[in-house]
Amino acid sequence: MKHRVIYAILWLLTVIAYSIPWATADGQTFVGWNFTVPFSITYVIGILLGLIALIVRYKSVSMTITAGILMILGVVGALVSCYSMGVLSGSTATKVHIEAGVGFAFILSIVYMVAGAYFSKRMVVKKA
């Protein structure tokens, strides 16, 4: 039971990381939820896979690793789009800043993938 609680806390932290500001453009702040980049959608898919692994507890290790990889791809895609937006904004005098939420989400995605896989293996119900 304690492994499931720890896994749930890790999963909740990934949701919180998606809610922290990722970028600012001309005073408008973008968090993961309103980041309109297709790559950040993979982060949401990773969150949903993590929730499924938490609830169902079937093949949870592979689902957790897949979720972590998708989250990392989502953060990397968001970073690439932020840099692209920064390059394109030079012609429009828009100031683009990357916020700390992206770094937090990236680090937390790695921690979730590694530690979550360990704890998900421990929370699987073994049939007698």
pTM of the model: 0.82
Report the Cα 111 to chain-centroid distance in Å. 11
Give the tens place of pLDDT for each residue, 48-72. Answer: 888 888 888 777 888 889 999 999 9
- At 37 the pLDDT is 62
pLDDT, the chain, mean: 82
Instruction: Locate the domains of the chain by residue range.
Output: 2-123
Confidence of residue 99 (pLDDT cuts 50, 70, 90): confident
Identify the burial level of 66 via C-beta atoms within 10 angstroms of its C-beta, where 0-12 means exposed, 13-18 middle and 19 or more buried. Answer: middle
Say if residue 39's pLDDT is above 80.
Answer: no
pLDDT(94) > 80:
no
Q: How many CA atoms lie within 13 A of 105 on its CB side?
A: 34
